[in-house]
């Protein structure tokens, strides 16, 4: 349990005064990148919405409010269009507050940005319990409003606030309720107020307390990387701003930033050591056995675990003997012996995850599935130590699907009496007395380094070391995690450590070098271009091999349907490989991986650094392979340049299949969204917004590291395709990266990106959102997102809370009506990294200044 402290609010005033005093000394026009032509945008203090919620009948509602219940003040609209208006306040600043039967509007004709003239407020974030029928309004005489409904009252205060001040709110939340041993991501929360004289809920209250118990999240490393990168740039920006003679308050702020950056960076690095495999394998997440989410039936490794995924429990010590052999790829020839083993836990995925087929030409071989089935080489090795009658693939196996040729058998990581020689399924009946017939294990070769001790509670430290027997980790990592880790390695190595002689940072540097080297060797091992797991195969989503992207491509290009961007085989059936549309993203990812590895390992592993640079250069050497033999890494920049093209092909091929294997035309198109988008080549309807987020990381690495002018231009050309949609989102995360990629451009719309920061909610609480709006034009759903979409990006405080990996136009998280008993004291909250990373990166690179 953690409590939110008010530390930042106590020092904000002093820090603001210091910041205002020092700002005048900062040069206005200096941009960070050589040859940059853009000028930094000066941030201003702007009005920010701060809500207090009062249930109907609350004794805390002031009895001195002058409630307005008519629309007589509304003079600029004809009576014929204001039939649902219930009350109007014209405040002393000339701002109209308009209460309606369908929400609240704020109209300020003097707004500095025309897009902010009208601001719409509805749903439980703004109106009590999501009751959008406003029955009365009262000015607070300070720029804000009191809004009354039948369910309750909300006070929407509008004090001015700098973005620097706003950033402290997110820092407080991370340090007190969103930090799980250095990892940072969303969590559920409860909120109480220690002031017993009020029954209102005000998240900004000086006496308010947040509590939470953060739990595991998919892609812990990726979310933590986003926070950590922001903290690194915070540290560097503050160092530069405060100069060589900072005040004590400024020193404290710089030290806070350094500590936060160091802690989060260590948390990401730990994920590459926590398995003990000793080869740089990046786990997806980990839990302590004491956490509720790590519980199993009977508290044994043989009992079912409801937290799904591919989880392993460590067993380390001189008496821990691995019940299985060691698969070939995890055997070592350097004389290092295992210090224990880890055993897969019984979960739905471990028992049932066969995955999809990868290659149209691959048939039913286990290597053609991206699930958790063991490779044949792994099965053969494990069978060497198994007795007769218990041989894997012979006596113990499970059916993952049935084809025309018969059942397809695989050896999944967990096989029970109920699933053996039967259809794979979830079996919750296992226990100490009903053990699985097979449970996969992996060797543990090394103890987690003591460098990470400070991330753990004292109960996990035994004899000065981390007790690995208290750790359960999630394997089956994804390329999301991998590119997040490399972006963190690069950012921390270059910007946090840099040329520092700080012993703590130098120790961090050593681990970054070692981890980068290990993981890159794992990816390039045998030139296979993937992260291998304990199954002897690639993890489900971390592969960068040419065949995965381009299987059968040369055949498809010879078919007449290719003229219409449809990829089919000789029989006219969809023949696109599973990774075809992922190729542009994954090509950039592996290029970012190799460029980072070459940079980070240059001094400590010079020979391997050169090897990584040569592998990176291969991406620019010639075009990529379209048929066997596929050359991994070759010509990958050309795939990166096909982002739009491959989206169109995948979309058109889907439409073709939906249309009875007929190319979609104006004459035969149905009314599906996909057919309509295909007819108009509208590839934006087939965007995976998670890919947009992931694409940011390698592009950031490459545009800031690549010094060759021609290569840099190709990378920027590839990113320009992504940005042709991202520009619609008006998100500084993308806009500031685009400015870094084009330092010579002076017409980048930085103001809209700044507006995003201005309108970003202080508390990323996941309130449902009102989408029944008359002021927004909706368009049809995208092919991936089944909800209707707005035709422009709403301000962040008018839409649902999302990270960068969701469609910002989709009307998801719909408010479902009035709830007069809405509980504002509990909910789910996200970290503010969506704000802090672009804010601090923008300040460091002098795209914005404050």
pLDDT (tens digit, 9 = 90+) per residue, 660-692? 999 999 999 877 778 888 998 899 988 999 999
pLDDT score of 36 more than 70 = yes
Q: CA 364, 365, 370, 372: dihedral to nearest 10 degrees? A: 110
Which residues touch 433 (CB under 8 Å, ≥6 apart)?
A: none
pLDDT-derived band of residue 638, with 50, 70 and 90 as boundaries?
very high
Please answer whether residues 509 and 493 qualify as being in contact, where contact means their C-beta atoms are separated by less than 8 angstroms. yes
- 3-class SS of residue 534: coil
What is the rounded average pLDDT of the residues 128-137?
97
Tell me how far apart the terminal alpha carbons of the chain are, to the nearest angstrom: 35
Structure confidence at residue 5 (pLDDT): 43
Q: Residue 313 carries which DSSP code?
A: E
What is the rounded average pLDDT of the residues 533-560?
96
Structure confidence at residue 32 (pLDDT): 65
| Dist CA 28 CA 25 (whole Å) | 9
SS (H, E, C) 114-151: HHHCEEEECCCCCCHHHCCCCCEEEECCCCCEEEECCC
| Dist CA 120 CA 829 (whole Å) | 22
Query: Pairing state of beta strands 50-55 and 152-157?
Result: antiparallel
Q: Which residue has the tokens 């309108």?
A: 759
pLDDT-derived band of residue 780, with 50, 70 and 90 as boundaries?
confident
pLDDT score of 31 more than 70 = no
What is the rounded average pLDDT of the residues 7-27?
33
Structure confidence at residue 673 (pLDDT): 74
- Cβ-based neighbour number of residue 681 at 10 Å: 13
Farthest-apart Cα atoms in the chain, separation? 90
Please answer whether residues 120 and 773 qualify as being in contact, where contact means their C-beta atoms are separated by less than 8 angstroms. yes
State the alpha helices, DSSP H only, in 271-314. none
State the alpha helices, DSSP H only, in 271-399. 348-352, 376-383
What is the rounded average pLDDT of the residues 811-834?
92
pLDDT score of 12 more than 80 = no
Structure confidence at residue 776 (pLDDT): 86
Nearest CA to 227 among 255, 258, 265?
Answer: 265
| Dist CA 24 CA 43 (whole Å) | 13
Which residues touch 309 (CB under 8 Å, ≥6 apart)?
A: 218, 284, 285, 347, 349, 474, 476
| Dist CA 749 CA 300 (whole Å) | 57
pLDDT-derived band of residue 15, with 50, 70 and 90 as boundaries?
very low
Nearest CA to 233 among 604, 737, 726, 602?
Answer: 737
11: which 2 tokens?
């020092």
| Dist CA 760 CA 169 (whole Å) | 12
Q: Residue 277 carries which DSSP code?
A: -
- 3-class SS of residue 249: helix
pLDDT (tens digit, 9 = 90+) per residue, 214-254? 999 888 999 999 999 999 999 999 999 999 999 999 999 99
pLDDT-derived band of residue 319, with 50, 70 and 90 as boundaries?
very high
% the chain with pLDDT above 90:
88
Please answer whether residues 612 and 521 qualify as being in contact, where contact means their C-beta atoms are separated by less than 8 angstroms. no
236: which 2 tokens?
């560097």
- 3-class SS of residue 70: coil
Alpha-carbon torsion (459, 465, 470, 474), positive or negative:
positive
pLDDT-derived band of residue 421, with 50, 70 and 90 as boundaries?
very high
Nearest CA to 270 among 568, 555, 473, 21?
Answer: 473
Q: Residue 562 carries which DSSP code?
A: G
Kindly report which listed range (12-21, 366-375, 487-496) carries the lowest average pLDDT score.
Answer: 12-21
pLDDT (tens digit, 9 = 90+) per residue, 135-182? 999 999 999 999 999 999 999 999 999 999 999 999 999 999 999 999
């Amino acid at each position: 349990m953690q409590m939110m402290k008010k530390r930042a609010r106590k020092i904000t005033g002093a820090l603001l005064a210091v910041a205002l005093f020092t700002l005048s000394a900062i040069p206005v026009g200096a941009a960070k990148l050589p040859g940059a032509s853009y000028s930094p945008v000066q941030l201003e203090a702007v009005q920010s919405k701060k809500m207090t919620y009062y249930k109907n009948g609350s004794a805390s509602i002031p009895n001195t409010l002058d409630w307005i219940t008519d629309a007589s003040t509304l003079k600029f609209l004809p009576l014929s269009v204001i039939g649902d208006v219930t009350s109007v306040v014209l405040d002393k600043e000339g701002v109209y507050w308009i209460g309606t039967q369908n929400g609240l509007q704020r109209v300020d004709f003097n707004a500095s940005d025309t897009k902010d003239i009208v601001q719409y407020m509805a749903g439980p974030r703004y109106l009590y319990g999501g009751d959008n029928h406003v029955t009365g309004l009262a000015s607070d005489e300070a720029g804000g409003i009191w809004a009354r409904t039948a369910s309750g009252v909300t006070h929407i205060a509008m004090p001015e606030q700098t973005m620097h001040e706003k950033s402290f709110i997110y820092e407080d939340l991370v340090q007190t309720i969103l930090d799980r041993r250095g990892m940072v991501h969303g969590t559920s929360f409860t909120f109480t107020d220690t002031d017993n004289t009020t029954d209102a809920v005000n998240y900004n209250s000086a006496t308010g307390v947040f509590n939470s118990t953060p739990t595991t999240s998919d892609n812990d490393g990726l979310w933590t990387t986003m926070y950590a990168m922001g903290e690194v740039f915070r540290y560097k920006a503050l160092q530069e701003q405060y100069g060589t003679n900072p005040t004590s308050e400024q020193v404290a702020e710089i030290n806070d930033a350094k500590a936060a950056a160091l802690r989060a960076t260590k948390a990401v690095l730990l994920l590459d050591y926590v398995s003990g495999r000793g080869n740089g394998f990046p786990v997806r997440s980990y839990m302590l056995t004491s956490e509720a989410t790590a519980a199993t039936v009977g508290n044994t490794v043989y009992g079912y675990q409801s937290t799904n995924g591919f989880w392993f429990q460590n067993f380390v010590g001189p008496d821990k003997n691995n019940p299985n052999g060691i698969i070939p790829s995890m055997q070592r020839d350097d004389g290092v012996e295992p210090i224990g083993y880890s055993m897969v836990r019984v979960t739905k995925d471990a028992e049932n995850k066969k995955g999809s087929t990868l290659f149209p030409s691959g048939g039913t071989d286990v290597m053609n599935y991206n699930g958790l089935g063991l490779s044949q080489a792994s099965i053969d090795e494990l069978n060497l130590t198994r007795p007769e009658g218990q041989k894997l693939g012979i006596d113990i196996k499970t059916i993952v699907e049935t084809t025309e040729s018969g059942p397809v058998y695989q050896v999944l990581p967990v096989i029970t009496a109920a699933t053996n020689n039967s259809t794979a399924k979830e079996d919750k009946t296992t226990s100490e007395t009903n053990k699985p017939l097979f449970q996969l294990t992996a060797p543990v070769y090394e103890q987690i380094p003591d460098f990470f001790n400070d991330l753990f509670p004292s109960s996990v430290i035994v004899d000065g070391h981390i007790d690995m027997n208290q750790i359960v980790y999630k394997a089956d990592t994804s390329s999301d995690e991998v590119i997040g880790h490399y972006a963190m390695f690069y950012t921390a190595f270059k910007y946090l450590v840099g040329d520092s002689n700080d012993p703590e940072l130098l120790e961090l540097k050593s681990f970054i070098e070692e981890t980068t080297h290990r993981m890159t060797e794992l990816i390039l091992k045998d030139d296979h271009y993937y992260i291998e797991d304990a199954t002897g195969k690639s993890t489900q989503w971390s592969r960068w091999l040419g065949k995965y992207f381009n299987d059968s491509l040369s055949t498809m290009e010879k078919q007449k349907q290719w003229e219409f961007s449809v990829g089919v085989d000789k029989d006219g059936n969809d023949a696109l490989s599973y990774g075809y549309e992922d190729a542009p993203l994954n090509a950039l990812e592996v290029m970012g991986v190799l460029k980072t590895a070459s940079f980070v390992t240059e001094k400590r592993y010079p020979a391997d650094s050169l090897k990584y640079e040569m592998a990176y250069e291969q991406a620019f050497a010639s075009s990529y392979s379209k048929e066997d033999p596929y050359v991994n890494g070759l010509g990958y920049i050309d795939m990166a340049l096909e982002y739009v093209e491959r989206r169109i092909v995948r979309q058109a091929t889907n439409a073709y299949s939906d249309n009875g294997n007929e190319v979609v035309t104006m004459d035969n198109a149905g009314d599906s969204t996909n057919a309509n988008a295909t007819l108009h080549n509208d590839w934006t309807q087939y965007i995976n917004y998670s890919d947009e987020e992931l694409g940011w990381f390698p592009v950031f690495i490459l545009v800031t590291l690549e010094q060759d002018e021609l290569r840099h231009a190709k990378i920027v050309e590839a990113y320009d395709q992504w940005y042709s949609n991202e520009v619609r989102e008006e998100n500084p995360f993308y806009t500031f990266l685009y400015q870094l990629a084009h330092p010579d451009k002076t017409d980048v719309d930085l103001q809209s990106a700044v507006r995003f920061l201005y309108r970003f909610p202080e508390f990323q609480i996941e309130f449902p959102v009102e989408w029944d709006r008359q002021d927004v034009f909706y368009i049809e759903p995208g092919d991936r997102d089944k909800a209707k979409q707005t035709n422009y990006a709403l301000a962040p405080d008018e839409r649902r809370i999302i990270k960068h990996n969701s469609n910002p136009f989709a009307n998801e998280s719909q408010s479902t009506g009035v709830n007069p008993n809405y509980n504002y004291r509990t909910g789910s909250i996200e970290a503010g990294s969506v704000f802090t990373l672009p804010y601090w990166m923008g300040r460091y690179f002098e795209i914005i200044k404050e």
